[in-house]
Amino acid sequence: MKRVLVLIIILSLMLAVSCTTGNSSPIAIIKTSAITEYQTTKSATTMVTKTSTAAVNNSTPTSSDQEIPLQGQPLTIDSNRMDFIDNYVEKTPASVTTSVSILVNYLITPAQNDIERARAIYSWVAHNISYDYNAYLTHSYGDTSASGVLQSRSSVCEGYSSLFEALAKDAGLDVVTIDGWGKGIGYAVGDQISGSTNHAWNAVKINGSWYLIDSTWGAGYIDQSHFVQEFCDGYFLTPPETFIIDHFPKTSSWQLLKQPMSQSEFAQLPLTYSGFFQYRLGFTGTYQPVTDANGEISVSLAAPDNVVLIARLYQGTLEMAQTCTFTQRVEQRYQIKAVVPNAGNYVLRVYAKNRSDTGNYWGAIDFSILANAASAYSRGFPATFDVFSIGNVTLYSPMIGNLVPGTIQNFDLVVPGTDDVEVVIGNLWQKLSENNSRFSGQINVTVGTIHVCAKYPGNQNFSVLLEYSSP
């Protein structure tokens, strides 16, 4: 008799290191299916929330409103060159950090274009300036001038942006500091922005157009009242349609959008975490989830090929059953679906990680959901294991997680990289037919737990992709 071996790895709840946006990145601790004894215990997502670097600035930074800034076309950024620049910057000797001009002369030495010059400056500032959390708490910001921050190596967002601007100008770049509002500590979806601006960031001109940079949020995060320096490149030349999610400039033209957003529209945007920027996610439609007539919530996100997404549904701090959500890749985007068990307020949270990583998923984005009634799609979705996402599996049917005993179900899914997919009910194994990595077959459903399993080359055992129930 065949046996399925499933590895259930429960990761520790230690705080992991992450870059951050204005809000922290909750961590998803996911049970992973791979190769060990057959088990059916499903995963419960645990999140650990860190307090992030707040963006605080009650004074007015210098910004240029003398021109209508032009939005640039998406830039082609050579990741190998960025890594080279970052590695060079990490070796910056202390002897060249005594003044802006001496430091710039060193930083831009290997740079071949304005992108690389801007990257060298962003990398040095984010790696070497600590966020002054005490100044944030006391509103006593100290010397936030470029020379003052270079000497103290600590500041709030005004100091970060001042130093970046001074270094960039000395490097021959056109650069401005932009003041506005950022979604920082304590912000919740729907909160209206008001009062004095609370954040500052930069824009740099490359090839005649402007691009956005935030070295403060690229520098690290606050963990239990302590700043943790952790470089994040997600805020370097961030696309404006992504940047606007948590940055609202005082001057609307600096949104760099063809159709600027209003403050009320900005307040209703989803709440992003570091994973959204670090993993270069994007929207393929509207910023808001779409609800159909049956109460099924649908979201579509663009993601690079090397990025894997999962989603979980929360009501307050309570995590709903995993079968309330379903996530899968369809070409260059992820389809994320959710159903709510009852009326009320919910948060649909999306997590991300690199496909090659064996560790945690990191929080990427929260969608706020107000449900007037329970979803008509009451039987939920099948539960997925990590191999499902990492293996780029696409499920067509059945999409219902709770199957009725005595019915015949058509199983239909694409599983790249294998020629053997089987449905397991108790001790009964039923092989699906294969045609160009698409597996299908008619299965008579009986009472019990149902697993869809795949055998990959090089593995003697099967890995669980999906789990259904049939009470």
Any idea what the CATH number is for the domain that residue 406 is in? 2.60.40.10
The predicted pLDDT at position 48 comes to: 28
Average pLDDT over residues 347-373: 89
Is the pLDDT at 4 greater than 80? The verdict is no
- 98 with 184, same domain: the answer is yes
* Number of independent structural domains in the chain: 3
- 246 with 131, same domain: the answer is yes
**Residue 253's pLDDT band (boundaries 50, 70, 90)?**
very high
Distance CA 123, CA 110 (A): 14
**Residue 454's pLDDT band (boundaries 50, 70, 90)?**
very high
Q: Could you tell me the sign of the dihedral formed by the alpha carbons of 267, 375, 337, 316, in that order?
A: positive
In a domain, residue 426? The reply is yes
DSSP per-residue string spanning 429-444: EEEPEEETTEEEEEEE
In a domain, residue 8? The reply is no
In a domain, residue 378? The reply is no
Q: How many CB atoms lie within 10 A of CB 83?
A: 11
**Residue 137's pLDDT band (boundaries 50, 70, 90)?**
confident
Is the pLDDT at 367 greater than 60? The verdict is yes
Tokens of 380: 């939920």
In a domain, residue 48? The reply is no
259: buried, middle or exposed (CB in 10 Å: 19+, 13-18, 0-12)? exposed
Name the 3-class secondary structure at 181: strand
Average pLDDT over residues 319-339: 93
List of residues 6+ apart from 328 with CB closer than 8 A: 334, 335, 384, 388, 389, 393, 394, 395
The predicted pLDDT at position 65 comes to: 43
- 319 with 241, same domain: the answer is no
Is the pLDDT at 153 greater than 80? The verdict is yes
From 340, 371, 402, give the residue that closes a domain.
371
The predicted pLDDT at position 49 comes to: 28
- 134 with 258, same domain: the answer is yes
The predicted pLDDT at position 209 comes to: 93
Distance CA 241, CA 210 (A): 13
The predicted pLDDT at position 53 comes to: 39
- Least confident window among 41-55, 109-123, 170-184, 362-376: 41-55
Distance CA 309, CA 390 (A): 9
Distance CA 317, CA 36 (A): 32
Q: For residue 429, give its domain range.
A: 394-470
- 190 with 103, same domain: the answer is yes
Distance CA 375, CA 170 (A): 58
Is the pLDDT at 73 greater than 50? The verdict is yes
Is the pLDDT at 107 greater than 50? The verdict is yes
- 107 with 222, same domain: the answer is yes
Average pLDDT over residues 34-50: 28
Beta bridge partners of 299: 336
Q: How many CB atoms lie within 10 A of CB 308?
A: 24
Is the pLDDT at 455 greater than 90? The verdict is yes
- 361 with 226, same domain: the answer is no
Is the pLDDT at 259 greater than 70? The verdict is yes
- 110 with 191, same domain: the answer is yes
**Residue 304's pLDDT band (boundaries 50, 70, 90)?**
very high
Instruction: State the number of CA atoms in the 13 A half-sphere of 166 facing the CB.
Output: 20
Is the pLDDT at 329 greater than 80? The verdict is yes
CA nearest 202: which of 169, 155, 153? 169
- 417 with 343, same domain: the answer is no
Q: Average pLDDT over the chain, rounded to whole?
A: 84
Average pLDDT over residues 104-128: 97
Peptide bond into 398 cis (omega under 30): yes
In a domain, residue 85? The reply is yes
In a domain, residue 141? The reply is yes
Distance CA 286, CA 269 (A): 10
The predicted pLDDT at position 22 comes to: 52
Average pLDDT over residues 209-222: 92
Is the pLDDT at 68 greater than 70? The verdict is no
Is the pLDDT at 229 greater than 80? The verdict is yes
In a domain, residue 6? The reply is no
Distance CA 11, CA 392 (A): 23
From 278, 308, 326, give the residue that closes a domain.
278
From 235, 251, 278, give the residue that closes a domain.
278
Distance CA 365, CA 346 (A): 13
Q: Supply φ then ψ for residue 293, to 5 degrees.
A: -65, -25
- 128 with 250, same domain: the answer is yes
Is the pLDDT at 2 greater than 50? The verdict is no
**Residue 15's pLDDT band (boundaries 50, 70, 90)?**
very low
More confident residue, 93 or 332: 93
Contact 309, 390 (CB under 8 A): no
**Residue 292's pLDDT band (boundaries 50, 70, 90)?**
confident
- 85 with 231, same domain: the answer is yes
- 267 with 131, same domain: the answer is yes
Average pLDDT over residues 436-462: 95
List of residues 6+ apart from 12 with CB closer than 8 A: 29
Q: How many CB atoms lie within 10 A of CB 312?
A: 27
Average pLDDT over residues 167-180: 97
Average pLDDT over residues 412-417: 97
Is the pLDDT at 9 greater than 70? The verdict is no
In a domain, residue 236? The reply is yes
